[in-house]
Structure formats: structure tokens, C-alpha cells
Amino acid sequence: MKIFISFVRKEFHHIIRDKRTMLILLGMPIVQILLFGFAITTEVNNVNVVVLDHSKDDITRKIKERIAASDYFNIIGEVDNQENINSVLLKGDANLVIAFSNDFASNLKKGGDASIQLIADGTEPNQASMEVNYISGILNSVVSEGSNNIDKITIIPQVKMLYNPQLKSAYNFVPGVMGMILMLICAMMTSIAIVREREIGTMEILLVSPLKPIIIIISKMIPYCVLSILNLISILLLSVYVLDVPIAGNIFLLFSVSLIFIILALSLGLLISTLVDTQMAAMLASGMGLMMPVIILSGLMFPIESMPKILQYISAIIPARWYIEAIKKIMIQGVEFQYVIKEIFILSIMTISLILVSLKKFKTKLN
């Protein structure tokens, strides 16, 4: 046991004195979580709006005041006629134009032709759709408030957003970034560390020590497991206290699922180390080789349900997909253990399979 502890201590010292490795291990997760939390967003904010108001009555004035008071939109001016709308959008001065029909208020009260036309810049279809939905909610709320004198009242549904009523994109990105960081850091650092030992010829020397090969491998993986747990803690602290993303579920369940995923990622790094011979190849395989599947097929950036069936099937073999789904349920929805049994089971099976395959291939490679 003393020899094992000395091996672990040696690996810790080796990592700590390498400043570049420490910067990657502890600095990159902080940068990524802040970048995804603040810079990358799908929310509607500060949308420039231009108004075409032929009516200029009390209701249109109230609508414009309500839009201007919103945190989502900025009314930057008005246009006089329909021909100027296209030029405003082409110049990029505005993202959205609101056009009121003539005699809007009087027609609204009489049940006549009181129309509002929303003209959005569709070069970003998803963003344009969100802008229209946001501003439609404001328009409907103003019209419904003044509907007492209207003969025909339109029933406006009240929509309640569960789990994320503010529609903050950080609620979606934080679990995804957790999965990406833990997968890349664990797999990349483990594969590089073991390949480095083999590349410089010290792994064979370690294997002739009194300890069994499996113990030596575990001793090299433990420091990265500890550092990954520290990364997990820092991500959660940033999420709660900087990005205002709450942890609604059980923190111990969250850590348990994360620990399974960390072990899985470490085992994947071990498997990669058996397939390559140089540190550069290990970095490319674990970094670039894993990053794209995690980003595209894990649900981090794009909903899996919207993908073609073939890609949905492929995404099922991406470990980060199941981890992200489990963390979203625990962290955002606050579910209990029985609601994440499926994800935990799949992650556990993947972890056991990777451990068995990697250890077997690792022994064969060294022999």
C-alpha cells in the first residue's frame, strides 16, 4: 500500500510542477463555463426595432411604450412608408419592423381590420422566430388589457415555462459544458500521461516494479480523477454564484453521476493511449476526435430530437449525451434517483465496458 501511495504522490508532483498542464486542467474549464454562460446565448436581447405607425393613436402609443420598456427590444426610430422598411433591414439598422394598419384603435374597438405586421430579418431563422414570438407576447398583452370595449375578444393562452421561466440559455449550456469539459480533460490528460511514459521508455520500468500493472495504471489515473472533481466543484460554484443557475436536485446524486462519468472518461483516455504511440497523436485523438461528437451529437448545441434518425442512433453511443441528460434532470428539474436510472445504467455499462477493453488492450500492448 505504501508503494501504491508513493506512486500516486509521484504522479501528483509530476502534474503540479508542470505549469502548462495545470493551466489546461484548472484554467480551461473556468474559461469555457464563463464563455458558454455569457458569450454564447440563444436569448433575445437588445433587438433593434423600427416602427411604421399610420394610426398614431393611444393603443399604438401604449404598445410602443411597452416595447421600449422591455429589456429585449430597443425602438431606434420610425419610418414613414412601406418602401423604407426594406432599406432599413438591408442596412442592418434594425432586426425587426412593426407596421400598424390605418385607424388601428378604432378598427380594433369595432372589430374591424386592425392588423399588426411583424417584419423580421430572416437571415438567422431561429433568432427571427424567437424575436417574433417575444414581441407577439407583448402585443397580445397590451391588446388584451384594453379589450373591455372590444366586441370580439380573442382568448390569449397563458404560457408557463417550467424549470426555466426566464428562458436563460445558461440553464441549457451549463450541463452541456460540464459534460464536454470532463470528457475532454479526463480523456486527454490520461491518454497523454500514459503515452508520455511509454514514449520516453519509463512505463516498462514501472511495470517491473513490485506493483501489478493494473495498480500502476490506477495510480496514474487517480490524480486526474481528483483534479476532475475539483473542476466539477469550480464549475458548479461558477454556475450557481456567477451564472445564477440553481442546483434544484440532490447534490450527492449529482456528484455520484459525475464520478461515474469521470471514471468513464478516464477509461476512454486509457483506451486511446493503447491506440496511439505519440503524445501529439493522443492529444489529437482525445481532443479533436472527441470534441466534435460531444458538441454536435450530445445535445449540447442541438436538440437530439431534431436530428435525423440515423444521427439519433449514433448519438446513443456518445457517453456525454447520457451524462448531460442526467445532469439536466438533476440540476435543472430537480428529479430524484428513479428518474435518472436509465442514464445511470447506460453510463455504468459504458464505464465497465471501457475499463475491461482498455485494460485488456493495454496489457497486450505492453507485452
- Amino acid sitting at position 151: D
Number of domains in the chain: 2
Question: Do 21 and 61 reside in the same domain of the chain?
Answer: no
Give the pLDDT confidence score for residue 275 in this predicted structure. Answer: 81
Q: What is the pLDDT of residue 154?
A: 42
At 125 the pLDDT is: 57
For the stretch 189-219, pLDDT in tens is 888 877 877 777 766 666 666 667 677 777 7
Write the pLDDT tens digit of every residue in 354-363. 888 887 876 5
For CA atoms 55, 58, 59, 62, the dihedral sign is positive
162 within some domain: no
> Could you tell me if residue 316 is inside a domain?
yes
pLDDT at 155: 33
My answer on whether 192 and 133 are in the same domain is no
In the predicted structure, residue 8 carries a pLDDT above the cut 50: yes
Q: How confident is the model at residue 156 (pLDDT cuts 50, 70, 90)?
A: very low
Check whether residue 109 and residue 179 sit in a common domain: no
Tell me the average pLDDT across 36-63: 76
Mark whether 333 and 288 lie in a shared domain: yes
Residue 151 has a pLDDT of 42
> Residue 189 falls within a domain, yes or no?
yes
Amino acid (1-letter code) at residue 49: V
Q: For the segment 287-322, what is each residue's pLDDT rounded down to a tens digit?
A: 777 877 887 788 777 777 667 888 888 889 999 999
Q: Which one is predicted more confidently, 330 or 211?
A: 330
Query: Last residue of some domain: 114, 149, 184?
Result: 149
Q: What pLDDT shows up at residue 191?
A: 82
Please check whether residue 157 lies inside any domain of the structure. Answer: no
Contact 178, 297 (CB under 8 A): no
Cα separation, 209 vs 206, whole angstroms = 5
Task: Judge if 264 and 346 occupy the same domain.
Answer: yes
Do residues 26 and 101 both lie within one domain? no
CB 222 within 8 A of CB 193: no
Whether residue 61 has pLDDT greater than 90: no
Task: Tell whether 32 and 77 lie within a shared domain.
Answer: no
Residues 273 and 202 in one domain: yes
Are 113 and 176 members of one domain? Answer: no
For residue 335, pLDDT over 50 is answered with yes
What residues form DSSP beta bridges with 119?
97
Rounded Cα–Cα distance for residues 167 and 169 (Å): 6
What's the pLDDT tens digit per position in 221-279? 888 888 888 889 988 998 888 888 888 889 999 999 999 999 999 889 888 887 887 87
- In degrees and rounded to multiples of 5, residue 143 shows phi and psi of -65, -40
Given 103, 118, 149, which residue is the final one in a domain?
149
Which H or E element spans position 294? helix 289-297
- How sure is the predictor about 323, in pLDDT bands with cuts at 50, 70 and 90? very high
Confidence at residue 213, expressed as pLDDT on a 0 to 100 scale: 67
Does residue 130 contact residue 42 with C-beta atoms inside 8 Å? Answer: yes
Residue 96 contacts residue 139 (beta carbons within 8 Å) = no
Q: Give a yes or no: residue 105 inside a domain.
A: yes
The rounded mean pLDDT for the chain is 77
Kindly state whether residue 4 falls inside one of the protein's structural domains.
Answer: no
Partners of residue 50 on adjacent β-strands: 77, 97
Query: Do 116 and 29 belong together in one domain?
Result: no
In this structure, of 26-35, 76-85, 271-280, 342-351, the range with the lowest mean pLDDT score is: 26-35
Q: Evaluate whether residue 158 is within a structural domain.
A: no
- The residue from 117, 149, 181 where one domain ends is 149
Does residue 90 lie in a domain region?
A: yes
C-alpha cell at 194: 500514459
Q: What percent of the chain clears pLDDT 70, i.e. is strictly above it? A: 73
Question: Are residues 302 and 195 located together in one domain of the fold?
Answer: yes
pTM recorded for the entire structure:
0.69
CATH number for 112: 3.40.1710.10
Handedness of CA 80, 86, 92, 95 (dihedral sign): positive
- Given a cut of 70, whether residue 90 has pLDDT beyond it is no
309 Cβ partners below 8 Å, 6+ apart?
none
Chain centroid to CA 285: 22
- Band the pLDDT of 348: cuts 50, 70, 90: very high
Q: What's the first-to-final CA gap in the chain, in angstroms?
A: 25
Q: Which helix (H) or strand (E) holds 240?
A: helix 213-241
Specify whether the CB–CB gap between 190 and 25 falls below 8 A. no
201: helix, strand or coil: coil
7 — pLDDT class (breaks 50, 70, 90): low
Please report the beta strands in 115-213, taking only residues with DSSP state E, as ranges in sequence order. 116-120
Q: Show the domain range for 143.
A: 47-149
- Please tell me whether residues 259 and 323 are part of one structural domain: yes
Pairing of strands 96-100, 73-78: unpaired
pLDDT of amino acid 264: 93
DSSP H/E element including 29: helix 28-34
Angle (nearest 5°) at CA 131 between 126 and 136? 125
For range 64-87, the mean pLDDT: 84
CA distances from 176 to 169, 212, 299 (A): 11, 37, 7
